[in-house]
Amino acid sequence: MVHLGHRYGEVGALDDVCFDVGSGEFVALLGPSGCGKTTLLRAVAGLVTPRVGSISIDGRTVTEDGVVRVGTADRGIGLVFQDYALFPHMTVAENIGYGLPTAEPARVAGLMALVGIAGLEERKPAELSGGQQQRVALARALAPRPSLLLLDEPFANVDAGLRDSLGRMLKRVVADQGASVLMVTHDQEAALALSDRVIVLEPGSAGGRVIQDASPIEIYKRPSTARVAQLSGGAVLISGVASGTVVQCAFGELTLIEPREGPVELLMRPEQLHFEEDSNGDATVDEIQFHGAHHHLRCTSPAGLLDALLPTSEVLPAVGSRGRIRVVGPVWALNR
């Protein structure tokens, strides 16, 4: 898409959005509510016609400056809605086969096996769990062999315990089918775990705009702005003064990932912050939460309130314990 822009009346939705999705690539759109993620997905699907800019799919311009050149049905896309939008009166097999121009029982059966719902052919959507409904919706979207699959918040209605397994299934299935994927999500864990690239949008007065387009690890370790840092995971941001690869801050002298000069804003992820007990320390444990492999320690420190991680295999300090925050590894600096 090139220079895409759209407004709803006087309210800006998209502002000069440009990016592409390569063949077989899995791209996630990440951003807060109101940044235009859903409008962008609906524009690609043909459910919204952007006022300016163009969208091309498989070399064909499907919309250009407010004019629809290729309708939704002819764009070669599959769409999985947030609420799955299954037909309640149809069986699982009928739902999956709905978009096929002619009956292809073997195609339907093959997709059911691929997404792990073989044996549920005759059930109705109301008889399925949320995870099973999601698998049906995915199989239905893939049935016509689309070149591009659009996913709208695919894990919004799935229990947290199922998200990892469904995410792995999703990645495997779309790779097997050779489809490119454009996924809208506010779930940073899903965006980072599943995608080849993450495109971060932020709202502006003229509409949502792209503020970073990079690999998941680049987004996480080297975000372009404080907003991207906060959208992509737990973030502790403090000020410092840099001189080359050395920076002075509330935690003393630290090493930078890349050299900088002058005032900077430093990003530290919770896994980089370790609490070490010391009766003469300048940090205090205010709260402890258990999170499986780690305890999250909410601490008052020279840099303010922050969360440090402590592996559950280590001795747990008591609430009220004093100590010091040790920063592990080099840190990323944002220009102020």
For residue range 113-142, what is the model confidence (pLDDT) as tens digits?
999 999 999 999 999 998 899 999 999 999
Q: What is the pLDDT of residue 186?
A: 85
Q: What is the pLDDT of residue 81?
A: 87
Question: What's this model's pTM, rounded to 2 decimal places?
Answer: 0.91
Q: Identify the CATH assignment for 236-335 out of 2.40.50.140, 2.60.40.1180, 1.25.40.10, 3.40.1410.10.
A: 2.40.50.140
User: Pairing between strand 180-185 and 148-152?
Assistant: parallel
Q: What is the pLDDT of residue 163?
A: 80
CB atoms within 10 A of CB 134: 25
Q: What is the pLDDT of residue 155?
A: 82
- Given a cut of 70, whether residue 336 has pLDDT beyond it is no
Q: Are the C-beta atoms of residues 4 and 48 closer than 8 Å to each other?
A: no
- Given a cut of 80, whether residue 157 has pLDDT beyond it is no
The CATH T-level fold of domain 2-225 is: Rossmann fold (3.40.50)
Strand partners, 60: 57
Q: Are the C-beta atoms of residues 283 and 302 closer than 8 Å to each other?
A: yes
For residue 303, give Cα distances in angstroms to 154, 243, 256.
37, 20, 18
Q: How remote is the C-alpha of 28 from its chain's centroid?
A: 5
Domain ranges in the chain with CATH number 2.40.50.140: 236-335
Q: Are the C-beta atoms of residues 92 and 128 closer than 8 Å to each other?
A: yes
CB atoms within 10 A of CB 165: 12
Q: What is the pLDDT of residue 156?
A: 79
Domain ranges in the chain with CATH number 3.40.50.300: 2-225
CB atoms within 10 A of CB 159: 11
- Given a cut of 80, whether residue 335 has pLDDT beyond it is no
CA–CA gap between residue 40 and residue 208 (Å, rounded): 9
Average pLDDT, whole number, for the chain? 93
Q: Where are the beta strands (DSSP E) in 269-303?
A: 273-277, 283-291, 294-301
CA–CA gap between residue 247 and residue 259 (Å, rounded): 9
- Given a cut of 70, whether residue 271 has pLDDT beyond it is yes
In the block, tokens 């689309």 appear at 146
CA–CA gap between residue 89 and residue 108 (Å, rounded): 18
Q: How confident is the model at residue 82 (pLDDT cuts 50, 70, 90)?
A: confident
Q: What does the pLDDT look like over 297-316, one tens digit per residue?
A: 999 999 999 999 899 989 99
Q: What is the pLDDT of residue 109?
A: 95
Look up residue 25 and give its DSSP letter: -
- Given a cut of 90, whether residue 160 has pLDDT beyond it is no
Residues in the chain: 336
Q: What does the pLDDT look like over 16-52, one tens digit per residue?
A: 999 999 999 999 999 998 999 999 999 999 999 999 9
Structure tokens at 94: 């009928």
CA–CA gap between residue 86 and residue 286 (Å, rounded): 47
Q: Are the C-beta atoms of residues 310 and 291 closer than 8 Å to each other?
A: no
Arithmetic mean of pLDDT, 285-300: 94
